[in-house]
Amino acid sequence: MRVPWTHLISTIKEQGIAQKKLGFPNLDDPNHLAYLRYLLKESRQEQDLAIPLDQLDVIVFDFETTGFYPQRGDEIISIGAIRFRGLGDEEEFFYTLVKPNKAIPPHIQELTGINQDAVSTAPTIKMAIHEFMKFAGSRVMVAHYANHDKRFLDENLWRLYRLKVQNRLFDTKNLYQFLYPEWEDYTLESILSHLNREVGKRHHALSDAQMAADLWRVALLEVLNRGARNLGDLYHLLAAAR
């Protein structure tokens, strides 16, 4: 799906589309930090392990960045995410560009289609991270090559708030390595090709998140077929394979 370059949260239900502009509170309010701490504290509860996989609330997300190393100054320039329950078709979408502090390198502009004009009026990283964490809540997080996205999320949460993400996190790459160890390549395109799924627009945060969500649903069906019934079962399956 081609997504317009706007800062929006879209809720799509039964072919109906509702869009609204992101609204930002006073991010320097102590209540804001307290709220973020509450979200992170609630995100890893032991009782979560008993939640049936077909009722699990997840958020699948992707960041487009100016490089691979946030500690060296590379920045997030867009965030895309989808949240849903279990295998359900009812989804909520989040997408925003992010205004970086430095110029976007030419090769990143070419790769992502995001140029300086596109981000000139975009939210700051503080605003974008705040809205993303509100959207994520305590849900289980899913991403493809998740370590990359987690590095950027942790770095920004720590720099802004001295916090780190505590949500449970699954990497669809690792999940498919477990499910299909005979495959040679676990890139997003390669897995979609194995599954005979369409490859959408690459290096667009929301499009990549949608494709990763497709991978998650297919993998979820497979682990259910292999006997996993809840989140704890899934952890046991993955641990036994190591």
What confidence score (pLDDT) does residue 43 get? 55
Which residue ranges in the chain fall short of pLDDT 70? 1-47, 242
What confidence score (pLDDT) does residue 12 get? 33
Whose tokens are 């720590």? That residue is: 158
Whether 1 is covered by a domain: the verdict is no
**CA atoms of 211 and 234, how far apart (whole Å):** 21
What confidence score (pLDDT) does residue 47 get? 57
Whether 37 is covered by a domain: the verdict is yes
Whether 163 is covered by a domain: the verdict is yes
Domain count, the chain: 1
35: region left, alpha or beta (phi > 0 left; psi from -120 to 50 alpha): alpha
Whether 179 is covered by a domain: the verdict is yes
Angle, alpha carbons 206-212-218 (nearest 5°): 140
What confidence score (pLDDT) does residue 227 get? 92
User: Looking at residue 174, which CATH number applies to its domain?
Assistant: 3.30.420.10
Which helix H or strand E contains 121, and what residues bound it? none
DSSP structure class, residue 96: E
Whether 3 is covered by a domain: the verdict is no
Whether 127 is covered by a domain: the verdict is yes
Whether 134 is covered by a domain: the verdict is yes
Longest dimension (CA), the chain: 52
Whether 122 is covered by a domain: the verdict is yes
Domain containing residue 113: 8-240
Strands 57-65 and 91-97: unpaired
What confidence score (pLDDT) does residue 11 get? 35
